């Protein structure tokens, strides 16, 4: 059955677009050129240059953060960037990084670009630079880039592949309007990220102050943690925490294998892992049935329990159990700790610089970093009164709340931007 086309639109190889929009191959409206290759002896002095990592920060190259490379006058003339050039990542360790574009704005000195990148210089009479950047970052074009790339040790794309990529373009006036709308959302995202970073720095400074000096103290004792308030006590973790347990506390490896089966489809309980925390507890999860959950009785989790990863590259990482309307139990390679002291205070202390330093001291330096429950019991903590713990936790949690609010706001703005890109860059939503 023939698809019905909306009035004012036409069907093209890129899908349905407005009648007055055109489809062009990138090679028809611009030229590509690979960057300069130099030996390691040439790095660190000379002319500024754009490297791969510079492509992933914002929309426009941050010229003030660029490193330098030694080039002669001829090389500079060949590889120097002009205002509004687009630079593309030619070779990337991660597939999702290949072909990623960034816009260059010229300032008062010549800047070149490295051999792992491609310069795209296009006809600015036909296409707006910011509009082009958003087109090249759109979901459809990124997918096309990945389809055209080759994979060896790295993922690569060449000029010929990029030349054949086609985009749809409206009039310059509509391009400018689309660019303005998307830039406004990006600016809101960037400002929100700055607020997040500002509050994270504030929190870090307050943690350093509050978790070592407390609130309103004038007399201090010298300890292994430095000067701490005279009223505070230094206590072993096995006395601070009334529960220090883990997954393997439930039985031998043979018993665990016999009684616990991981399931990738929804079951009675969620097996909580560091992976889940890093994914904001959005799934996909590993599940266990009711029998397995009951067998794992020694490591059942409660909301906001403190969990410490104890094996691998993230050994020592501290996180909290989620608030989920489903039973939860601790996965392997982590330790659960509970206390009658203020849970939030202890979480902040364990995740602070000083707490992390103490945990690192018990991590083995073998091929795989790790520590166990017995190792953890050797750690000592500086503990204030319960009343002061609560006050410190309240101050830090109020900042955490603001950070989480801003993270949520940023996430929603990114969803808005994604929807706008899908609709504006294809002409589904018209702005003139």
Residue 2 has pLDDT above 70, yes or no: no
Stretch 276-284: mean pLDDT: 91
Provide the β-strand partners of residue 47.
69
Query: Left, alpha or beta for 280 (phi > 0: left; psi -120 to 50: alpha)?
Result: left
Give residue 294's pLDDT band: very low, low, confident or very high (50, 70, 90): very high
Provide the CA 17 distance to its chain's centre, in angstroms. 34
Stretch 13-36: mean pLDDT: 96
What is the full DSSP assignment across 399-425?
Answer: HHHHHHHHHHHHHHHHHHHHHHHHHHT
Supply the pLDDT for residue 251: 94
Supply the pLDDT for residue 4: 83
Q: How far apart are the first and last CA of the chain?
A: 32
Supply the pLDDT for residue 1: 54
Superfamily of domain 22-169: DNA methylase specificity domains (3.90.220.20)
Supply the pLDDT for residue 152: 86
Domain segments of the chain as ranges: 22-169, 233-383
Do the beta carbons of residue 287 and residue 327 sit within 8 Å?
no
Determine the length of the chain.
432
3-state secondary structure of 242: strand
- Mean pLDDT (the chain, rounded): 95
Provide the β-strand partners of residue 113.
50
What is the rounded distance in angstroms from the CA atom of residue 286 to the CA atom of residue 3? Answer: 42
What is the rounded distance in angstroms from the CA atom of residue 190 to the CA atom of residue 211? Answer: 31
Supply the pLDDT for residue 164: 96
Stretch 10-38: mean pLDDT: 96
In tens, the pLDDT along 71-109 reads 999 999 999 999 999 999 999 999 999 999 999 999 889
Give residue 432's pLDDT band: very low, low, confident or very high (50, 70, 90): confident
Residue 153 has pLDDT above 90, yes or no: no
Stretch 295-313: mean pLDDT: 95
In tens, the pLDDT along 375-394 reads 999 999 999 999 999 999 99
Give residue 137's pLDDT band: very low, low, confident or very high (50, 70, 90): very high
Supply the pLDDT for residue 248: 94
Could you tell me which of 344, 73, 112 has the C-alpha nearest to residue 211?
A: 344
In tens, the pLDDT along 242-256 reads 999 999 999 999 999
Do the beta carbons of residue 102 and residue 87 sit within 8 Å?
yes
**What CATH topology corresponds to 233-383?**
Adenine-n6-DNA-methyltransferase TaqI; Chain A, domain 2 (3.90.220)
Do the beta carbons of residue 295 and residue 324 sit within 8 Å?
no
Supply the pLDDT for residue 366: 78
Residue 169 has pLDDT above 80, yes or no: yes
What is the full DSSP assignment across 19-75?
Answer: TT-EEEEHHHHEEEEE-B---GGGEEEEEEEE-GGGGGSSSB--GGG-EEE---HHH
Do the beta carbons of residue 24 and residue 167 sit within 8 Å?
yes
Stretch 342-369: mean pLDDT: 94
For residue 301, give every residue at least 6 positions away whose Cβ sits within 8 Å of its Cβ, in sequence order, or none.
Answer: 272, 307, 321, 328, 329, 330, 336
């Amino acid at each position: 059955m023939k698809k019905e086309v909306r009035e004012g639109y036409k069907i093209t190889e890129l899908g349905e677009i407005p009648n007055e929009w055109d489809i062009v191959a990138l090679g028809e409206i611009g030229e590509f050129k690979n960057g300069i290759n130099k030996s390691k002896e040439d790095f660190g002095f000379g002319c500024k240059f754009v490297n791969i990592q510079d492509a992933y920060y914002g929309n426009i190259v941050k010229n003030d953060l660029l490193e330098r490379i030694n080039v002669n006058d001829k090389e500079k003339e060949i590889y120097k960037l002009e205002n509004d050039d687009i630079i593309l990542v030619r070779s990337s360790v991660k597939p999702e990084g290949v072909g990623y574009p960034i816009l260059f704005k010229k300032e008062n000195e010549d800047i070149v670009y490295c051999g792992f990148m491609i310069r795209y210089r296009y006809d600015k009479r036909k296409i707006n630079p910011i509009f082009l950047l958003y087109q090249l970052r759109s979901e459809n074009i990124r997918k096309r880039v990945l389809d055209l790339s080759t994979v060896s040790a790295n993922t690569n794309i060449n000029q010929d592949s990029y030349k054949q990529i086609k985009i749809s373009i409206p009039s310059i006036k509509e391009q400018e309007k689309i660019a303005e709308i998307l830039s406004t959302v990006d600016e809101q995202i960037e400002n929100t990220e700055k607020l997040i970073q500002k509050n994270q720095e504030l929190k870090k400074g307050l943690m350093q102050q509050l978790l070592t000096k407390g609130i309103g103290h004038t007399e201090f004792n010298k300890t292994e943690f430095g000067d701490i308030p005279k009223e505070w006590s230094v206590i072993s973790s096995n006395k601070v925490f009334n529960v220090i347990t883990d997954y393997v506390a439930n039985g031998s490896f043979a018993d665990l294998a016999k009684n616990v089966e991981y399931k990738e489809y929804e079951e009675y309980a969620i097996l909580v892992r560091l992976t889940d925390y890093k994914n904001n507890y959005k799934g996909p999860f590993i599940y266990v049935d009711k029998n397995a959950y009951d067998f794992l009785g020694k490591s059942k989790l409660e909301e906001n329990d403190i969990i410490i990863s104890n094996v691998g590259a993230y050994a020592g990482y501290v996180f909290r159990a989620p608030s989920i309307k489903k039973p939860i139990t601790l996965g392997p390679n982590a330790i659960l700790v509970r206390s009658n002291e203020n849970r939030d205070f202890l979480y902040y202390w364990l995740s602070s610089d000083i707490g992390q330093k103490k945990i690192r001291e018990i991590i083995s330096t073998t091929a795989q970093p790790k520590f166990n429950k017995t190792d953890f019991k050797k750690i000592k903590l500086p503990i204030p009164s319960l009343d002061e713990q609560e006050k410190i936790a309240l101050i830090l949690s109020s900042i955490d709340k603001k950070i989480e609010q801003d993270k949520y706001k940023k996430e929603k703005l990114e969803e808005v931007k994604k929807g706008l890109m899908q609709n504006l860059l294809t002409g589904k939503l018209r702005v003139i």
